[in-house]
Structure 1
Amino acid sequence: MTDSLYIWPSSDMDFWKIENKGTEVVVKWSGNNFLDYKRLAYQFYGCGYKILEEVINDRLNNVKSDMWFLTGIFLIRHSLELGLKSLLCRVLSRKKDIQDTFKKCGHDVALLLKKYDEVGHENFLNSEEKSWLSKYCISLEDVDRKSDIFRFPFDDEFLLKYRNKFLDNMQVTNNLLQAFSLVKRCLEMGVITEEEKFDNTLRSEFFIFTSPSSGNCYLWQSISDVGFYVKIRGYTEAIDFIYQVKDIPNEDKLYPLMFMFRNTIELYLKILFYSRVEKGVSQKAFKSKRKSHRIKKDLWKNVKNMIVNYSDGSDEELKTMKLVEKMLSEIDRLDKKGDKFRYPTSYSLEYYFDNRTLDLSNIYIYLKAIVNFLEGCDSELDAIADIEQEIKNEYESDMYSNTEWY
């Protein structure tokens, strides 16, 4: 594999290029909403499981425990949502009922489960299992109502409740996996493996806390980077890990990897809004656009001038800027709002992305080049901000020393 550190935007890069038949993936949905949502649920679960397994197996690695862990949680949390939506596609007979339910419930797994229980009349779980799963989903929603806590920096409300606490990684993982196994039992109409048997000793809670110790997730947020660093590193390293995992088929990696890349690009563009350089993003844009998901129109548009202002103006840098803008335009065209690699369809059940052939290795290089460029911009602007501050401090010191006191 090409060393990811040396992947940089180049004029021959094309999102759609097929260079390696061995990593070719054909995206073709069946048209059966139940089967397609189920398929994607299993793909996100498989990647999330691998990440959490790596975190648990390498407990002394604090980067994995504090950062990868959050990425893994999101992937399995999302697989729960996809699985429940799959079940609703099976039990709701009319397309309009599915559409209305998806719009009403959104990302809320507790509401999705409640709707399934109300209309499904399926009895693949006993009363104890139903109660456990219901309580667990409510607990999850208490922490992560909008399905964004594990994608973006923690918000003030979250930090007020959980800052500086330690999650028990093993217990949080076991509960999360059991929740998915119960949804999976419904998806498979009662069929389970020995490993998936219900464990009534597990607490039906999403967050389980423990005393400070190595190997558990420390819920912290740096003031200097407004919380972006933890999420960015978690996602970028998890991407490289999943890409290299051999026992996950390429077709099962494609959507989770494209989602993680797209989310990482958004995180990098947003962290640039917080750059400390003197000629940064305008206050007006900062207030109105920093939470947008629109990569080109709202995010790139407002950081581009700042990057240009602090570039050396060489032909090579301007050429790279144009290449990156073109590449970001392609991502924006494919996925304006950050949802087309998370779901097979829109709320109206129209398929986003179908009958397309992609080269996973090419996709990796294409998206990694964008990430590396934005990471370079962030590092360079940080260094420039430090220099600007030093000059300012020296100026103020000189002014103070030259002041005559009477």
Structure 2
Amino acid sequence: MEYVWVEKNKNIKSIVNKEMKIHINWSKKPDEDYTRLSKQYMNAGYIILKEIVEGPHNNIKYDMWFLPSIYMMRQAIELLIKSGIAINGATKSELQRIFIAAKHNVKELYKTYKDSYGVEELNEAEQTWLEEYLDSIELIDSSSDLFRYPFKDDFMQQYGDKALDVIHMGNRLIYCFSTLNKMINGEWFNEVKLNVEEDPHFLQVAVTGVNNCYLSDSLWSDEFRKQIKGYSEAATFLFENFKESGDEALFYPIVFLMRNAIEIGLKRLLHMQMDQGIDLHIVRSKRNSHLLYKDLWNSIKPMLVHYSKEDNQKEETLELAENYIRSLDCIDKHGDIFRYPCTYSNEYKFNDEEIDVANFYSYLLGIFHFIDSCEAWLDNIKNYEMEVKNENEAEMRSEWVSEMRTYME
């Protein structure tokens, strides 16, 4: 990953590299746009999965890159079902009502499609497999955040120290997407036909951690590290792929992945336990927020200002980072602009834009590296604070023992 830092007078939308320029232009027809983005996410997820399985063996890729790969393919499935509802003539107000009610619930979206339009393109075995698979997604990942953020305690209590089967889980997501494409568009996606003998379950625990996604966090410093590293490195890999192929379809997944890594990085800073850290009630109230600037940065900033003054750091760096975060926040406040083509109310908030992909990515990378450096810097300070605290406690204990001995004598 190229090392990039925040710098003065950099604009996220500037065109610096003309050869990297693309034009974002949605049709403003929900059926077409949801279909298009669904294919982009499936393609991006597949590219990452293929690299994990077929590239040189790398435990980090199996344990960390697999997480964004699975998320993107699950996102593709949600987008494709929504495209099917739009293709069949639902009005904008109907789409808004359906999408708000269902949110990320792929089981409910499928039921809406089936009840309204039928699934005659599928035979009974295909329909049964698909419904059981969508049920299993909803059972374990109803909010579409299982692989997007650090695993919750209840999930780790059940699956911690186990491994997820990379190949079987990846294949089933591809089968699901292709079957949905047949249901909606009348043909298998990329000629991938469903194998109904495949177990219709979203999660598959592997018999070994070798060449699979091991879920334990014991080797890492905290619960955030796996997702931060996985999402940022997957984004970098897709960007390198874009540089070679010029495939514009990779832009939205690249931006989403890096923005998500930035959000998780800020949340890691939010949770850092420092002598002059963030009040617990603020941590609890902001830890699930997607608002990069208003909730996350503004909660973290006082801690960074305090320690930067103690450490004689330049305030200018904090100001630059704040400007970067504010600019990204203005484009994608809630973390959904690059996951969907439009809002529930059919607003296209990022459209008809000339974008230099390299400059846009570099801008995000600058934020990411700033946050990552803050984490390392604060970790060092925290260790020093702990040493001082232990020394003071030892000294106080020694003085107390000495006083007691004097008293006893």
Partner of 2:237: 241
**Where does residue 256 of structure 1 map in the other structure?**
253
1:95 is aligned to: 92
One-letter code of the match for 1:4?
E
Q: Which residue of 2 aligns with 1:201?
A: 197
Does the residue aligned with 1:83 lie in a helix, a strand or coil?
helix
Question: Is 1:336 paired with 2:333?
Answer: yes
Any gaps of 5 or more consecutive residues in structure 2?
Answer: none
Secondary structure, in 3 states, of the residue corresponding to 1:245?
A: helix
State the partner residue of 1:227.
Answer: 223
Deviates more, 1:96-105 or 1:34-43: 96-105
Q: Is the 8 A contact 2:235 2:255 kept in 1?
A: no
Deviation at 1:59, TM superposition (A): 7.1
Normalised TM-score (structure 1): 0.95
Aligned to 1:271: 268
Residue aligning to 1:148 = 145
CA distance in 2, matches of 1:224, 1:46: 30
Contact 1:92 1:98 in 2 (8 A): no
Report what 1:81 is aligned to: 78
CA contact (8 A) 1:154 1:221 kept: no
> Take 1:179 and 1:192, find their aligned partners in 2: how far apart are those partners?
10
Q: Is the Cα contact below 8 Å between 2:179 and 2:189 reproduced in 1?
A: no
Q: Over aligned residue pairs, what C-alpha RMSD do you find?
A: 1.8
Matches within 5 A, 1:290-305: 290-305=287-302
Q: Following TM superposition, by how much is the alpha carbon of 1:136 offset from its aligned partner in structure 2, in angstroms?
A: 0.5
Which of residues 164, 168, 193 is equivalent to 1:167? 164
**Alpha-carbon distance in structure 2 between the residues aligned to 1:227 and 1:291:** 15
Task: Find the counterpart in structure 1 of residue 175 from structure 2.
Answer: 178
* Cα pair 1:11 1:323 within 8 Å, conserved: yes
Partner of 1:71: 68
- Per the TM alignment, residue 111 of structure 1 is displaced from its structure 2 partner at its CA by 0.9
User: Which residue does 2:49 correspond to in 1?
Assistant: 52
Q: 1:122: Cα distance to partner?
A: 4.5
The question of whether the paired residues in 1 share the 8 Å contact of 2:160 and 2:215 is answered with: yes
SS at match of 1:402: helix
Taking only the aligned residue pairs, the percentage that are identical comes to: 35
Task: Report the 3-state secondary structure (helix = DSSP H, G, I; strand = E; otherwise coil) of the residue aligned with 1:357.
Answer: strand
Is contact 1:239–1:261 with CA below 8 Å preserved after alignment? yes
Contact 1:55–1:65, Cα closer than 8 Å, also in 2? yes
Q: From 4, 8, 11, give the equivalent of 2:2.
A: 4
Once residues 279 and 371 of structure 2 are traced to their aligned partners in structure 1, the CA distance between those partners, rounded to angstroms, is: 19
Give the secondary-structure state (helix, strand or coil) at the position aligned to 2:383: helix
SS in 2 for 1:26: strand
* Alignment deviations for residues 126-179 of structure 1 (CA, whole Å, 9 cap, x no partner): 221111111101101111110111111111221222222111111111111111
- Code of the residue aligned with 1:357 in structure 2: it is E
| Pairwise CA distance, 1:352 | 2.1
- Alignment size in residue pairs: 402
CA–CA separation in structure 2 for the residues paired with 1:78 and 1:312: 43
Quickly say closer, same or farther: Cα 1:16–1:240, change in 2 above 3 A. same
Distance in 2 (alpha carbons) for counterparts of 1:209 and 1:280: 38
Q: Structure 1: which 5+ runs fail to align?
A: none
**Superposed displacement of residue 264, structure 1:** 1.0
Paired residue for 1:286?
A: 283
Distance in 1, Cα, partners of 2:121 & 2:187: 5
SS at match of 2:391: helix
The secondary structure found in structure 1 opposite 2:308 is coil
Determine the C-alpha separation between the residues in 2 that align with 1:315 and 1:361.
33
Contact 1:25 1:250 survives alignment (8 Å): no
Which residue in the other structure is 2:358 paired with?
Answer: 361
Structure-1 separation of matches of 2:295 and 2:331: 16
* Contact kept in structure 1, 2:162 and 2:209, CA below 8 Å: no
Q: Relative to structure 2, which stretch is displaced further, 218-227 or 89-98?
A: 218-227
Moved more, 214-223 or 164-173: 214-223
For residues 14-56 of structure 1, what are the alpha-carbon distances to aligned partners after superposition, in whole Å with 9 as ceiling and x for unaligned? 1110011111111111111100000000111111101111111
Asked if the contact 2:62/2:211 (under 8 Å) is kept, the reply is yes
13, 16, 41: which one aligns with 1:16: 13
CA distance in 2, matches of 1:192, 1:259: 24
How far apart are residue 277 of structure 1 and its match?
1.6
Query: 3-state DSSP class of the match of 2:314?
Result: helix
TM-score, structure 2 as length reference: 0.94
Q: CA deviation at 1:226?
A: 4.6
Distance 1:108 1:36, change over 3 A: same
In the aligned structure 1, how far is the partner of 2:189 from the partner of 2:306? Answer: 59
Q: 2: CA distance between counterparts of 1:314 and 1:173?
A: 47
Aligned counterpart in structure 2 of residue 61 of structure 1, from 55, 58, 62: 58
